[in-house]
Chains A and B, each alone.
Chain A
């Protein structure tokens, strides 16, 4: 991590926005009660986005995000700053979600997505969605497409979902995804390839029904 020199003045004298994560982590590790709260404030939304992308169900994603935040809090003593705090937290969120998905035997997520899809169906979506996939600029709403995509996500393996979310939502490079997931870059490439082919196929099936 980049080393910011705070030695010339105490943390208390530095305005909050100027303190970087590293400084807040150090304060939290010293037992400052506000410090971890600040880190939560900064990173909660991104953590939730990763969880939501992987899990699909808002309530469960929120649940798992808080699991991850708690796990981070409990493990803070072991955080040595070899990576950025955001990277470390992302890895925790990803692992918490992967554990959850692996425990869930079969496609609970897919079922919940199907329910969500049903809420907004007006009977004409299929044709319009098809045209959107084929031609991104046509008239179907992004929301409808988003719901269809999330439904298809439910059919991917946990590892494929994680790779896709880390790529599309977090914008990570293949190397960064590999580091986060603890696998080879080639594995990331393979997972993304199969994830996208599967998504493409599922979306076409969905449109055709």
Chain B
């Protein structure tokens, strides 16, 4: 076996370990053996460099793509089937349950306070749709689940589309 064949044989032996070597996941004598080989083998050295380059490029690419989306306070609409979680069965969620908002009739001469009282009475009378939890009333066409973020900023909202035939669907906005 000449020198080239010896080197190729060593490469074939070491190749399955190069990925772990590039990740710093080899230790002791195994690591030392590969370090010695890579120092003298341009092919294996190139493979390790490629692994690292590809990893870096993947990381940068995904981070750049994610930065665009993550910068938005809210995300585009998404439909979701949703069932209300029971976080603590003995202590139900302390969420405000609101029905879907609807336009209040504009009554000339009615005081704002009176309208609020009427609205509250109406809300309590109707109650929430089955399987809905809503935290905050918002101007939306359907019931909502709002998960507020810092300082009252909305972080994520699931707006449910009324569909009595099936499980409620939600839209995150």
Contacts and interface: CB of A to CB of B under 8 A. Distances in A.
Contact of B59 (A37, A62, A168): A168
A37 B85 contact: no
A149 B80 contact: no
Interface stretch (A46-54, A84-92, A99-107): A46-54
Contacts, number: 160
B62 A49 contact: yes
Contacts of A203: 54
A96 interface: no
B147 A36 contact: yes
B172 A66 contact: yes
A62 B20 contact: no
- The interface residues of chain A, by DSSP majority, are classed as helix
Interface of A: 16, 28-34, 36-38, 40-41, 44-45, 48-49, 52-53, 58-59, 62-63, 66-67, 69-70, 73-77, 132-134, 136, 142-143, 145-147, 149-150, 153, 164-165, 167-169, 173-174, 189, 192-193, 196-197, 199-200, 203
Contacts of A132: 53
A58 B87 contact: no
Nearest to B136: A33
B35 interface: no
A74 B83 contact: yes
Contacts of B70: 44-45, 48
Contacts of A29: 87-88
A58 B74 CA distance: 15
Q: Which 9 A-B pairs have the closest CB atoms?
A: A146-B61, A37-B147, A31-B94, A37-B155, A45-B70, A136-B53, A168-B55, A74-B85, A193-B19
A38 B149 contact: yes
Given A66-B75, A74-B83, 5 more contacts: A41-B155, A52-B66, A136-B50, A146-B61, A192-B20
A189 to B, nearest CB: 5
A149 B66 contact: no
Contact of B20 (A33, A69, A168, A174): A174
B19 A189 contact: yes
Contacts of B96: 33
Contact of A63 (B64, B65, B78): B78
6 contacts: A29-B87, A34-B148, A40-B149, A40-B155, A41-B155, A167-B23
Contact of B69 (A62, A70, A74): A62
B58 A53 contact: yes
A32 B60 contact: no
Contacts of A173: 25
B65 A52 contact: yes
A192 B66 contact: no
A51 B95 CA distance: 30
B65 A67 contact: no
